[in-house]
Structure 1
Amino acid sequence: MIELRQIHKSYRVDGRDVPALHPLDLSIGAGEVFGIIGHSGAGKSTLLRLLNGLETPSGGSLTVDGVALAGLDADGLRTLRRRVGMIFQHFNLLSARTVAGNVAFPLELAGTPAAELRSRVAELLATVGLEAHADKYPAQLSGGQKQRVGIARALATRPKILLCDEATSALDPQTTAAVLDLLSTINRELGLTIVLITHEMDVIRRVCDRVAVLDAGHLVEEGPVTRVFLHPRHATTRRFVAEAEHVDEELLRGGVQGTGDVLRLTFLGDDTYAPVLGRVARETGVDYSILAGRIDRIRDTPYGQLTVALTGGDVDAARRTFEAAGVHVEVLR
């Protein structure tokens, strides 16, 4: 659905070119939920704005739904943008229009007949659960309701792609979960391709199939969320994971005294719920202390990741037994 080849972007500042994005390659498949994560200034928003032509790349090629953006005139860009919806961090609703009026706005711009417009608005409000709020104004809505209006508006022209620019960072955790569940439902039921940028690893874990990690304009890691999240290779990704898990890596590697070998055990799928720790302890005679851990899901896949200290017994045999049971073992100390 989206192909980027050696795309890069620089801005002219004080007479010199300052790179916001260094050359990168990315492919995003149709129907995929693709996450882009990075700290402030990493280049996430610049990359997102390239995808719908709000920014022009300094070089490289970009194809969206089979259309090369290079050389598109104003009419071509307008046609493209009807196939690329966008939702924003701060909602960007029109305060003088009702909920229904906000959702209708892109349809009015597209010249949709009145009867079809009313029917489509009613359908969209039902999709996002706001049928009862059609005549309210944005000031009368909660943050989560405003974002649902933004999602309905973005879907108005039946786009194939939905771009989400920090769409949940202004929301509380419970509302964030509800909005992410709605995006997952839309992706599943409409087959929509979703590109989501964020600085929160929990958002990536909850809804994304694959993720790209940006650092200072460089693409430093990319792949399935289960691989990138559970086995990060780059220091920036490891920091995101450690922040999300509230794990002090330095403490685990060197600061815990008298606790034997420190291992990180990763369980995936149905193995997450298997009683492996108890069996290994019985068979090898090791004692274990759990130093950190989490049992959760990456989208629809259960996973568990435990950091344990092993003492006594046959620690080498314990490692081999874990691995034989399908557990990924990483020695931290």
Structure 2
Amino acid sequence: MIEFHNVHKTYRVAGKEIPALHPTSLRVENGQVFGLIGHSGAGKSTLLRLINRLEQPSGGQITVDGEEVTALDANGLRRFRQQVGMIFQHFNLLASKTVADNVALPLTLAGELSRKQIDLRVAELLARVGLSDHAKKYPAQLSGGQKQRVGIARALATKPKILLCDEATSALDPQTTASVLQLLAEINRELKLTIVLITHEMDVIRRVCDQVAVMDAGVIVEQGSVADVFLHPKHPTTKRFVQESEQVDENEQRDDFAHVPGRIVRLTFQGDATYAPLLGTVARETGVDYSILAGRIDRIKDIPYGQLTLAVTGGDMDAAFARFTAADVHMEVLR
């Protein structure tokens, strides 16, 4: 378990104190995929790099599985970092080394395994990331997605308990991003690794994370399960991320619906309720009519969800709305 207790980070620039992370407390449970989302300058990279003390905190306490990371000496920190793998946005591969040598580098530096043991471990890792046939190639011969897979294999070399992902997919095209996220999900599931990733894309959070913290100006402004935060955003920053991911402009939508008669509501379904014939049932029971103005069905990690914006007219609207609520459907009255 990763825990932050009132952790903060300040940089001194030109004689001035610049806060990068305001006092922050959070908890990441073992085995979770935890996402940090924010725009540039939000403080998410600082927070991530504090976990393995690539950044030194200005105050507060960081513990991992009960061990106070902020109190470790040089030897303790070296030992601790062997339990933490890191994946970088721009891959950080050594151009003069083969794929196999890049993956082997952490093991070679650790000096604890024989050459034969290292070769076996490297072969195992390249098979896991689907690059067994690329062991003797050099980074310049690889695509962006393949380079990132090498980076993932290298991060796993020392059998870490924690994997830190610093914008691991932001340099990749959508199809490659999807395949890398699928690989990370498999690693999390099969190796029981705790993964902490940072991104500026809500779609990345939606695909792979269990929990999310939304950051703005060095502060966590909203935090919770991805389903709760994604489907019921509260803070303006979170709402902007959701709107960007859904490519929805609420002001334009409001103008489009201005001429539509009746009450306008947004319904959000999760799990089995996503596919239930609820609208037809409620219409028959309460006599309301409805028009579907907008809608989508998608998934948050493994959970299906649906959102519908309806114009409701006639019948017993109060009874209809109560029926939606009783069916565990979240309803928001837009007008």
User: Once structures 1 and 2 are overlaid, which stretch shifts more, 312-321 or 198-207?
Assistant: 312-321
1:232 is matched by which residue type in structure 2? P
TM-score (norm: length of structure 1): 0.97
Residue 81 of structure 1 is matched in structure 2 by 81
Whether 1:186 aligns to 2:177 is: no
Residue 172 of structure 1 is matched in structure 2 by 173
Residue 51 of structure 1 is matched in structure 2 by 51
1:83 is matched by which residue type in structure 2? Q
**In structure 1, C-alpha distance between the alignment counterparts of 2:277 and 2:20, rounded to whole Å:** 48
Q: Which runs of 5+ in 1 are unaligned?
A: none
Q: Is the 8 A contact 1:221 1:233 kept in 2?
A: yes
Deviation at 1:198, TM superposition (A): 0.4
1:32 is matched by which residue type in structure 2? Q
Whether 1:258 aligns to 2:259 is: yes
Residue 134 of structure 2 is matched in structure 1 by 133
Query: What are the within-5 Å matches in structure 2 for residues 1-333 of structure 1?
Result: 1-111=1-111, 112-253=113-254, 256-259=257-260, 260-333=262-335
2:74 is matched by which residue type in structure 1? A
**In structure 1, C-alpha distance between the alignment counterparts of 2:271 and 2:216, rounded to whole Å:** 30
**Residue by residue, what CA displacement relative to the aligned partner does 1:35-67 show, whole Å, maximum 9, x if unpaired?**
000111100100011011111111110112332
1:99 is matched by which residue type in structure 2? V
Deviation at 1:315, TM superposition (A): 2.3
Identity %: 71
1:302 is matched by which residue type in structure 2? P
Deviation at 1:73, TM superposition (A): 2.3
Root-mean-square deviation (CA, aligned residues, Å) is: 1.3
**In structure 2, C-alpha distance between the alignment counterparts of 1:286 and 1:7, rounded to whole Å:** 53
User: Once structures 1 and 2 are overlaid, which stretch shifts more, 255-264 or 130-139?
Assistant: 255-264
**In structure 1, C-alpha distance between the alignment counterparts of 2:282 and 2:18, rounded to whole Å:** 55
**In structure 1, C-alpha distance between the alignment counterparts of 2:231 and 2:188, rounded to whole Å:** 24
Deviation at 1:69, TM superposition (A): 2.0
**In structure 1, C-alpha distance between the alignment counterparts of 2:39 and 2:295, rounded to whole Å:** 24
Deviation at 1:28, TM superposition (A): 0.4
**In structure 2, C-alpha distance between the alignment counterparts of 1:291 and 1:144, rounded to whole Å:** 38
Deviation at 1:254, TM superposition (A): 5.8
2:163 is matched by which residue type in structure 1? L
**In structure 2, C-alpha distance between the alignment counterparts of 1:274 and 1:126, rounded to whole Å:** 42
**Residue by residue, what CA displacement relative to the aligned partner does 1:18-42 show, whole Å, maximum 9, x if unpaired?**
1011001000011010000011110
**In structure 2, C-alpha distance between the alignment counterparts of 1:95 and 1:287, rounded to whole Å:** 64
**Residue by residue, what CA displacement relative to the aligned partner does 1:74-103 show, whole Å, maximum 9, x if unpaired?**
222211111000001111111111110100
**In structure 1, C-alpha distance between the alignment counterparts of 2:4 and 2:311, rounded to whole Å:** 44
Aligned residues: 333
**In structure 2, C-alpha distance between the alignment counterparts of 1:329 and 1:179, rounded to whole Å:** 35
TM-score (norm: length of structure 2): 0.96
Q: Which runs of 5+ in 2 are unaligned?
A: none
Deviation at 1:211, TM superposition (A): 0.4
User: Once structures 1 and 2 are overlaid, which stretch shifts more, 251-260 or 225-234?
Assistant: 251-260
Corresponding residue SS for 2:70: coil
**In structure 2, C-alpha distance between the alignment counterparts of 1:248 and 1:311, rounded to whole Å:** 25
**In structure 2, C-alpha distance between the alignment counterparts of 1:64 and 1:26, rounded to whole Å:** 12
Corresponding residue SS for 1:3: strand
User: Once structures 1 and 2 are overlaid, which stretch shifts more, 152-161 or 248-257?
Assistant: 248-257
Corresponding residue SS for 1:156: coil
**In structure 1, C-alpha distance between the alignment counterparts of 2:49 and 2:36, rounded to whole Å:** 13
**Residue by residue, what CA displacement relative to the aligned partner does 1:132-152 show, whole Å, maximum 9, x if unpaired?**
111111111111111100000
User: Once structures 1 and 2 are overlaid, which stretch shifts more, 311-320 or 60-69?
Assistant: 311-320
Q: Is the 8 A contact 1:262 1:307 kept in 2?
A: yes
Deviation at 1:262, TM superposition (A): 1.5
**In structure 2, C-alpha distance between the alignment counterparts of 1:10 and 1:306, rounded to whole Å:** 44
User: Once structures 1 and 2 are overlaid, which stretch shifts more, 243-252 or 1-10?
Assistant: 243-252
**In structure 2, C-alpha distance between the alignment counterparts of 1:140 and 1:216, rounded to whole Å:** 39
**In structure 2, C-alpha distance between the alignment counterparts of 1:187 and 1:77, rounded to whole Å:** 24
2:65 is matched by which residue type in structure 1? D
Deviation at 1:252, TM superposition (A): 4.2
User: Once structures 1 and 2 are overlaid, which stretch shifts more, 52-61 or 279-288?
Assistant: 279-288
Q: Which 4+ residue blocks in structure 1 deviate beyond 3 angstroms? A: 251-255
1:228 is matched by which residue type in structure 2? V
Deviation at 1:255, TM superposition (A): 5.4
**In structure 1, C-alpha distance between the alignment counterparts of 2:317 and 2:251, rounded to whole Å:** 22
Deviation at 1:253, TM superposition (A): 4.5
